[in-house]
Amino acid sequence: MRVIDSHTEGQPTRVIVDGGPDLGSGSLAERRELLARDHDDLRQKTILEPKCSNAMVGALLCQSPNPYCAAGVIFFNNTGYLGMCGHGTIGLAVTLAYLGKLSLGSHLIDTPSGVVRVDLNGPNDATVENVPSYCFRKSVELTVDGLGKVSGSIAWGGNWFFLADSTPCILSRENIPQLTDAASKIKRALVEQSIFGADGGEIDHVEFFGPGQSSDVNSRNFVLCPGLAYDRSPCGTGTSAKIACLAENGQLAPGEDWIQESIMGSRFRGSYRPDEEGRVIPSIAGTSYVFADAKLVHQSDDPFARGFG
């Protein structure tokens, strides 16, 4: 199985460019179900520790049934499958450019959450125009073990996010263990208190916000992903969810830039446009670098081939 590894603003993506299972020719959402049901060992063998850090997002390159799409992709992580992934789509575009399979310019990419557009601006720079994003609920209150009352918004950016109204501590690298602990407790409380997304989907990403480190940044975030790894990038779908909430509150105009900084200090430049139906279509721009072009091998007696179990 050939994989290409990259990182987008610090967050890694491993694209499986060949050697994946035959998932038929259904929609990407249908194929994601098949992959999860019948071939989860692919996810386990490709990205779980000890092979990768638990932040790694896997991306199975597929052919899209939509003839206008340059590619299809199914994203997965250390615990399951994602609908969309912003940093991963930028990583995929840069990976395809590295392989000589994507030219500079505009392309459509099919994902289980819908078709997105990617503009490859240079060999390492891409802008993703994401799926329609929206704020589902505001001022949602929950009681969280050790934190007391916590309030926030629930928003869709291609995945479900809880955007907390306040942060338990300063958003600094030294506080990552505390931030991870607080966000994990919020994630658990959402399930326990039966608070879900619009479609009953689990709200499996939690975001905290604070001031950026310099005046040209609008905000810094900390994003906890479903498998309890934190996003080293500002999270493309998380920034989209934030932009949808800002648009809903009249705090960001169409076309206005929103510079989102990650807990590691890397940045995405975001903005949005309204579509014909007035929905928020966020764009996220970032940089990605390829760092490995490898063949994965699986030895039959490797006790940790599928991770630590």
Q: Which residues bind ligand PYC (CB under 6 A)?
A: 11, 57, 82, 85-87, 225, 231, 233, 235-237
Strand partners, 71: 109
Determine the Cα–Cα distance for residues 256 and 236; give it in Å rounded to an integer.
17
Q: Directed axis angle between helix 28-38 and helix 40-47, to 10°?
A: 80
Q: Contact at 8 Å (CB) between 86 and 239?
A: yes
Q: Which is nearer to ligand PYC, 175 or 239 (CB)?
A: 239
Q: Which is nearer to ligand PYC, 64 or 78 (CB)?
A: 78
Least separation in angstroms between residue 22's CB and ligand PYC is 26
DSSP E strands in the chain: the ranges are 2-8, 11-18, 57-62, 69-76, 81-82, 105-111, 114-122, 125-129, 134-144, 148-156, 160-164, 205-210, 219-224, 258-261, 267-274, 280-295
Among residues 85, 135, 225, 245, which one is catalytic?
85
Q: Which is nearer to ligand PYC, 11 or 271 (CB)?
A: 11
Strand partners, 239: none
Among residues 52, 62, 235, 245, which one is catalytic?
235
Least separation in angstroms between residue 266's CB and ligand PYC is 11
Least separation in angstroms between residue 229's CB and ligand PYC is 8
Least separation in angstroms between residue 67's CB and ligand PYC is 26
Q: Which is nearer to ligand PYC, 53 or 151 (CB)?
A: 53
Is there a catalytic annotation at residue 225? Answer: no
Residue with tokens 């459509």: 108
Q: Which is nearer to ligand PYC, 152 or 282 (CB)?
A: 282
Least separation in angstroms between residue 298's CB and ligand PYC is 25
Nearest to 143, CA basis, from 113, 186, 81: 186
DSSP 192-212: HTT---TTS----EEEEEE--
Is there a catalytic annotation at residue 169? Answer: no
Q: Contact at 8 Å (CB) between 41 and 21?
A: no
Where in the sequence numbering do the catalytic residues fall? 85, 235
